[in-house]
Structure 1
Amino acid sequence: MTSQTPPGTERPDPELPRGVALAWGVAANPQRGPKRELSIERIVEAAIEIADAEGLAAVSMSRVAASLGFTTMSLYRYVTSKDDLILLMAERAGEVAVPDASIDRSWREGVTAWVNAIRATFREHPWLVDIPISGAPITPNSLTVVDWFLREVRDLPLSDGEKMSALLLVTSYTRATSSQERDLGAAAAGSDPADVTGENFFEALTELVTPERFPSLSPLLAGGGYIAKPGTGGFDEGDDDFEFGLERILDGIEYYVARVEAGEPPVTPAPLSPQVDLPRDPKVKDAARARREAEKALREAQKRERDAIKRALEREQQARERTERQK
């Protein structure tokens, strides 16, 4: 027996921007022209091919139409604006293969797999980092990506807002490093790679970066930690820098999770008074320095307290075990 909606109470169709509705497949049918072999899918594929080859700036409605052998007006019967076309391009290019939910792994392993999948889309379609972020994800593929991340962190004792903040954190890191990798790759392709690594300028910099002017940077440069010495092959190969940063981000989340599990209150700095500019006064600087030192002392005291509690619990456990053995 099926229930029927009473007359006059039908729910209206949800209102979505045209491009988003196209992504969900719920937009009204486009006005068909005489050449029915054209479709939204073909238009998006052609636009992605142009962007992959020449960058996002090369994509225009007229360029896409010409590549397909149609007039520009033919495209507007399917995609009503370039903004909608770019949205559909991002939706298509950002599709990822979500692994099976039955895979047994830690949350860190799951988030790492998630990050690597997102990074792979940026590497395959470097122009994705050039699309401005205009709001929360609301298209099907982008929400699939969000759903996958939330699945990986579902067992963490975090609030919904904290999980979304973690998502934003790792997404921002992946996007920023992918943009940097793309830009450095383009620079290396158009010039001597040793110019990009700085290897060609090593000798000049060792003369200019003196201990007197750069007391902390100078020994790093001399030791090859800032710019590789000539003949060493430039920077270390592989993804060492990316992996280091990702692991530290995950360490930070793990530390926060441990605090939540231990019932410890979050450490949040006190907000400054709403001032546009702090006065350039030595006393203000001294007070800020004293505050930082006090905060550091508090963190150290809290750590000592946690260690003392941990040792006390261990002693109690050991005492109980000795008592049990003596019975």
Structure 2
Amino acid sequence: MPEDLEDIELPRSIALAWGIAANPQRGPKREMSVERIVEAAVELADAEGIGAVSMAAVAKRLGFTPMSLYRYVTAKDDLLLLMQDEATGVPTLAYRDAEGWRAKLDVLFREQVAIYLRHPWILSLPITGSPVTPNSSRWIEAGLEAINGLPLDLTDQLAVVLAVTGTARWQGMVYAGYDATARELGLTSDEVATREQRLYERVVDADDYPLLRALVDAGGFVAEADPFRFGLDRTLDGVEAFVTDRADVAPPRVVESIDDLSDVADEKKYRAAVKARLAAEKDVRQAEKALRQARRLEEQAIREARG
């Protein structure tokens, strides 16, 4: 390993994201925190777009001066990274209830697309590398867990996870764009697709574009089939075929439970931490189940009130 990478220092933005950066010694107390700053910035981006986000605008939203913010977040790039991690959030544990690795990945895929529709400004942020932040790491962890046990080496496992997240980002980009167009024109998503179909019908000539014209005449741009669903399914088909060819390869061994720690760690503190995490995840699953039930009851009450 190069000497300059042996003791690499964490960038402040990453240290802030993981909660291991030093807090300012001076400045407004209680009323201000990194969390409040990031939440206000995300709210601003959701309401007005990422272009409206500046240190001055966020400070104004919180009722402080820009210099007050700089004591907590020293650069706008740091703020953008923290905003991305906050808006990305963490996956629900619904994927664990799905049967089979394909179904688990499908749950994660749909949840990621939903994030881009809720916070489309994320798609405007430049990709400068893997965001080494807690929530982004949690999505990778969930993807790896979904395919845990498949006869894939670690490099292939990461490639599968990235294939799914990449397809989700592409779908999110297109869907968010269509949503923005729909709002701008005052149309529904279906009406935007119909408008697009009509435009193709007007300009595409069968002599110059015979195959595309045939597609247009067949209503290809208003078809119910989801091309992104097709793309994801074919990607997973490829993974499944690859896995089948490697059926005789033993999958990498990973720690799956606290009982599997005998040759990994014997420290009581580590065992207690793992046990606490497993208990917390169980509590989260139960809470999510109760939330889903409450939502179903709410929807039923609304239908009955309207009926």
Q: Do both proteins adopt the same fold according to a TM-score greater than 0.5, normalized to the shorter chain?
A: yes
Offset, 1:37: 1.4
Stretches of structure 1 that go unaligned for 5 or more consecutive residues are: 1-11, 229-234, 264-327
Give 2:219's match in structure 1, choosing from 204, 224, 244: 224
TM-score (ref. length: structure 1): 0.67
**Alignment match, 1:123:** 117
**Alignment match, 1:29:** 23
3-state secondary structure, aligned to 1:78: coil
3-state secondary structure, aligned to 2:179: helix
Give 2:195's match in structure 1, choosing from 199, 202, 205: 199
3-state secondary structure, aligned to 1:190: helix
TM-score (ref. length: structure 2): 0.71
3-state secondary structure, aligned to 1:37: coil
- The structure that has the greater radius of gyration is 1
Offset, 1:222: 1.6
- The residue identity in structure 2 corresponding to 1:217 is L
Conserved 8 A contact 1:96-1:121: no
Offset, 1:40: 0.9
Give 1:155's match in structure 2, choosing from 142, 149, 156: 149
Conserved 8 A contact 1:43-1:64: yes
RMSD, aligned α-carbons: 2.6
Inter-partner Cα distance in structure 1 for 2:201 and 2:142: 48
- The residue identity in structure 2 corresponding to 1:173 is T
Give 1:58's match in structure 2, choosing from 45, 52, 60: 52
3-state secondary structure, aligned to 1:261: coil
Inter-partner Cα distance in structure 2 for 1:42 and 1:207: 51
- The residue identity in structure 2 corresponding to 1:177 is Q
Conserved 8 A contact 1:94-1:141: yes
Q: Which moved more, 1:240-249 or 1:43-52?
A: 240-249
Conserved 8 A contact 2:91-2:142: no
Conserved 8 A contact 2:197-2:219: no
- The residue identity in structure 2 corresponding to 1:209 is V
Inter-partner Cα distance in structure 2 for 1:200 and 1:138: 39
Residue-pair matches, total: 242
Give 1:19's match in structure 2, choosing from 13, 36, 48: 13
Q: Which has the higher contact order (CA 8 A, sep 6+)?
A: 2
**Alignment match, 1:258:** 244
Offset, 1:211: 3.1
Give 1:244's match in structure 2, choosing from 230, 245, 249: 230
Offset, 1:35: 4.8
Shift of the 176–256 alpha-carbon distance from structure 1 to 2, 3 Å rule, reads same
Shift of the 101–211 alpha-carbon distance from structure 1 to 2, 3 Å rule, reads closer
The answer to whether the aligner puts 1:185 opposite 2:179 as a matched pair is yes
Conserved 8 A contact 2:120-2:176: yes
Conserved 8 A contact 1:19-1:87: yes
- The residue identity in structure 1 corresponding to 2:227 is D
**Alignment match, 1:43:** 37
**Alignment match, 1:79:** 73
- The residue identity in structure 2 corresponding to 1:242 is F
Give 1:209's match in structure 2, choosing from 204, 209, 214: 204
Stretches of structure 2 that go unaligned for 5 or more consecutive residues are: 1-5, 250-307
CA deviation string 1:163-194 (max 9, x = no partner) = 11111111111111101111111112112648
Compare the two structures and name the one with the higher helix fraction.
Answer: 2
Conserved 8 A contact 2:197-2:216: no
CA deviation string 1:59-79 (max 9, x = no partner) = 000000001110000000000
Conserved 8 A contact 2:88-2:136: yes
Inter-partner Cα distance in structure 2 for 1:113 and 1:147: 14
Conserved 8 A contact 2:206-2:213: yes
**Alignment match, 1:267:** none
Inter-partner Cα distance in structure 2 for 1:117 and 1:208: 37
